[in-house]
Amino acid sequence: MKIAFIGLGNMGGGMAANLVKAGHEVSAFDLSEEAIARARENGCTTFGTVREAVQGVDAVVTMLPNGNIVRSVLTNDVIGHAPEGVLILDCSTIDVATVREMIDAATAAGYEMVDAPVSGGIAAANGGNLTFMVGGTDSAFARAQPVLEPMAKAVIRAGEAGAGQVAKMCNNMLLAAHMVGTCEAMKLAERNGLDPQKFYEISSKSTGYCWSLNDYTPVPNVGAASPADNDYNGGFAVALMLKDLRLAMAAAEASGARVPLGRKATEIYEEADKAGLGGKDFGSIFTTL
């Protein structure tokens, strides 16, 4: 297929490269000249505007920072400019209301669209091991699968429009709470004289098992390899986790859901961001305890 890829940042750049590796022709755009240069090195054809990139394509993938940018790009440069009937896949993490608004607008204009946010981080984006949570009709999902599979370890239909975003914000709220709990437990063990490596060996095989402990250990040189071993560089930034938590808190307020642990986790990540850890991996919460 010929696929337009809009947004070539830390996640999008690797995702676009994997589409090229799978044999697709990728027309790429980003505001960053550095990102554009990397895309060219990875085999993408690059363009100076979104409207140029979406000409003659079979599908359009967007991976953008927030809902306002997604709305602007889709409304001004994709809908009405990409060929009618193409599939639009928004892989950004944005609020549910905006993605449903965009899916309605795309459908009214003769397009099919899915929301397909991802879980996995930069390494998974580069390695083609992302999990995609997809919201949209059965027919749109069927069309989305061959586009997403070269970038994925799993492609799961969550439900109708917006369901992918609901799954993403709930998943990341749970992950944030898991990481805080993991960091607190490991710091408590350390402060009471238990070797963190020994605690890891015990808890990772006991009921404390979770991904944050077993697969992404937030203590340097303990357990699984993670950004903690590199001064918390790389991985999933505190600022990005905070963005996802704020989306979850807004959804909780709108729906009347009670999420006390989610709210506490949000407060903790807000404090870390204010303390200058916004660019560090979210496991750096360990250093604040």
Q: What is the pLDDT of residues 57-79, one digit of tens each?
A: 999 999 999 999 999 999 999 99
Q: What is the pLDDT of residue 95?
A: 94
Residues 158, 167 contacting (CB under 8 angstroms): yes
Rounded Cα–Cα distance for residues 222 and 159 (Å): 39
Q: Which amino acid is at 203?
A: S
In this model, does residue 235 exceed pLDDT 90?
Answer: no
How much of the chain, in percent, has pLDDT values that exceed 70? 100
Q: Are 165 and 119 contacting, i.e. CB atoms less than 8 angstroms apart? A: no
What is the C-alpha end-to-end distance of the chain, expressed in Å? 50
For residue 266, the surrounding DSSP H or E stretch is: helix 260-272
Confidence bin at 234 (pLDDT 50/70/90): confident
Entry pTM: 0.92
Asked if residue 220 has pLDDT above 90, the reply is: yes
Banded model confidence at residue 123, pLDDT cuts 50, 70, 90? confident
Token digits of residue 193: 């004289």
Catalytic positions, written as ranges: 168
- H/E element, 46: strand 45-46
Say what the pLDDT of residue 122 is.
87
What span, in angstroms and rounded, lies between the C-alpha atoms of 190 and 255?
40
